Amino acid sequence: NEENNEEAGEHFTPRDVVKLMAKLIFLPVADKIESGTYLVYDGACGTGGMLTVAEDTLLQLAKEHGKEVAIHLYGQESQPETYAILKADLLLKGEGAEAENMKFGSTLSADGHSSREFDFMLSNPPYGKSWKTDQERMGGKGEIKDHRFVINYSGDPEYKMITRSSDGQMLFLVNKLSKMKGNTALGSRIAEVHNGSSLFTGDAGQGESNIRRWIIENDWLEAIVALPENMFYNTGIATYIWLLSNRKSLERKGKVQLIDASGWFVPLRKNLGKKNCEFSEEQIRQIADLIVNPRETEQSKIFPNETFGYHKITVERPLKLKDIDPEKAYLPKEIKAFVAEGKADENGIPAIRKIHKSGRADPLHGLFARTIGGKKCVVEYEPDTNLRDTEQVPLLEDGGIEAFFKREVLPYVPDAWIDGNKTQIGYEVSFTRYFYKPVQMRTLDEIMADIRAIEKETDGLLNEIVGDGK
């Protein structure tokens, strides 16, 4: 029980959080549950508590709707002692078949259920934990070919969803997405706990951002729920439940719901490790209701998918050199030699690297109109790598990249241009931005009243110290 789990870590998730996760994946489809067999999966299952709660919740829902269901549990655990407890518990309950469905080893490098798809999946994977050993077993970061993490997407035959080796939490989510059912009316539903880094870590084109992009552009992300701090036994950091489905309801299509439940909790009378609060049954019901009946409230915001996407553009400026011919195009090796000789000068002449005798000028993209030798032409300048910069342009930017560039960049650096070959798409969820409440500034009258009160106090104090002069 929880009293014995003050030091619980990777194998125990608080029961109130598990209850909430189970309700979030089952309640929205309660009226779609038919009599039949359902498979439930946890790729970081610990001692199996999350699977058990999920099974009980689904059985109860089916009973309430007059349905007969058979539920098979599947899991994987990499810690030997935890795995032994998991297997022993199932065997003692007489659930030998379910025990056989629990696999030992790393879900990332030795997937024990590679050929299966599941109806419901939920997990609390390790976050902030290195997966370097797994990475090496899979051939090293540059050589990973696992079809779960390297896919053909958006015109890229090797679209990589490989995170930095210091934190593999998002790979557990990608693993689940690879196990979604695509040929059933219900599809698959997923609930997974992550810390804040999964929302924003990773630049455009990097593994974490690629994962978010893949998820959101495929319209799988239903909601993210912010939990209170100090909800877990071994960490006090902010955590979030990601809720995903490949069968979104019509009202959810093209949208993501963010729920700030960080202020919904009741304090514990006694801390359990770092856990000092929990959800009440009523609070679990309130959060679940916002998911079942999505709507805008002070704690619930709904956004178009594109809200979280951006173009990362590369802004270039010309390399300027002294003592060069302003009408000559130089080879890369010549330019490199000039720089080595110390000819770079911010007041110098922009170095031309290519001259087009014909063509259309496009200064925003580095094609500038010039007159050389009395003839009109278009030139490309050598970019100065020391002045290279990047900007994030929201996908929903009014007027797009060009409008942003003309408004935010050109007024300050009029010789800049965009290197379109380097533009990348990224996604991040700046959760707190959408729930930020600015502090009400005090009025000038209130501040002046305080100053006058302080002046009176100090005047009285001064009189006490020096007397009245007699």
Q: For residue 122, give the CATH number of its domain.
A: 3.40.50.150
> Is residue 469 included in any domain, yes or no?
no
The verdict on 242 and 315 lying in the same domain is: no
Domain presence at residue 456: no
Do 251 and 349 fall within a single domain? no
My answer on whether 298 and 398 are in the same domain is no
Q: What pLDDT, on the 0 to 100 scale, is given for residue 436?
A: 81
Residue 7 is predicted with a pLDDT of 37
Residues spanned by the domain of 279: 2-308
- pLDDT for 385 equals 96
Per-residue pLDDT at 297: 95
Task: Based on the fold, state whether residues 70 and 215 are members of the same structural domain.
Answer: yes
> For residue 467, what pLDDT is reported?
63
Are 98 and 186 in the same domain?
A: yes
* Structural domain contains residue 343: yes
Does one domain contain both 165 and 21?
yes
Of the residues 285, 308, 331, the one at which a domain ends: 308
454 within some domain: no
Positions in the chain short of pLDDT 70 = 1-11, 460-463, 466-470
- In contact, 27 and 291? CB cutoff 8 Å: yes
Do 117 and 235 fall into the same domain? yes
Please give the pLDDT value at position 190: 98
Asked if the structure places residue 19 within a domain, the reply is yes
